[in-house]
Structure 1
């Protein structure tokens, strides 16, 4: 026995209920944080940490170079001072030149010591900044892992929900005997942005259940009884009986 239009409209409404559940699950998955933003921030922090670590390494190298220069000057100063007091230099001009050399080395030493102190401060600051950046990188890595793990769990749950709705969806679709009506429904779902809602029951208040706009009483009555294919005057959805 062929089904009446009213029966098909009720079946269509049942199909819409299942499709709305599927749409809701899909929307939930799409809105679930998959960790992409956290991963992007991690990569940014990683690059920043690498740049800052390179700067810290350079600052430490500068410190070592300054210390080596100071050590070289001090070694030479001690050597010249030893010559001065060893008695190996006896000429007055040679002694005068040696004394001037020592004075110059003392000035160089004072300058080199200041450079070393500045280099030590710069290196310490650069290392501290790099270490802080590396800690931030590790924290962001942890945040990404947690977000991704949470997403994987939710993805698994929603995928199972999708799979579980396939059978009732297919069964509900089979209940609609008028395939042209089903085709109209699918076409409307493709056009609608509001969750893919293509049909809606009409209440006793003559209002569309989807957009809540009242339709003319004659059309509303025909839709409630399932006597004719009626579309909402405002949103163009198929209006169906509620039961």
Structure 2
């Protein structure tokens, strides 16, 4: 028989306790690294987190813009009820050439843009500077005598009749290359026959400007008829000789 002494018992007891304690510690360490039964913990997004920024709108293609202008002729000109007939609308031809010239001008091809502007003037009777910006679905009726200056800005769904001038008040340079000398026309504006909007004025959305009016000041929205003195009221009509 092997004698069992107190020292041997103590060593066994100590060894057993150490092994058990180490196993418990290892078990705790393994348990700390385990994934909960419900699955991985997902990060909670706070309610006040900003929404993701919307994707930038794609620029409108030239062909789509020209097609919109053609459909606008069909929609607003009773004498052109079909696309085939709207293709003969001469102001639409001038507008197409202007949109081409505008893109060339922005790309730095100023001479080519000028040639297209000249062709548009000969074809439609309109003079639109290639730097002028014209929005979507523009409608120009008849077109003869329409003049739109270099720094003019025209919004969407605008209607211009013949003889309309969007010009400046003088020929002198202001010194700043990007200074605005011509009017800004808002969306859904109608400008009557022979009306003149001169200078760096702003016409609010939805305004209706009477024929042969002279506008030299801003016209805010909503769209009411411009209360300006028409040119014809400044002319003294002579009596009929008949």
TM-score (norm 1): 0.27
Which structure's relative contact order is higher, taking Cα pairs within 8 Å and 6+ residues apart?
1
TM-score (norm 2): 0.27
Q: Mark the structure with the bigger radius of gyration.
A: 1
Of Structure 1 and Structure 2, which has the larger fraction of its residues in strand?
A: 2
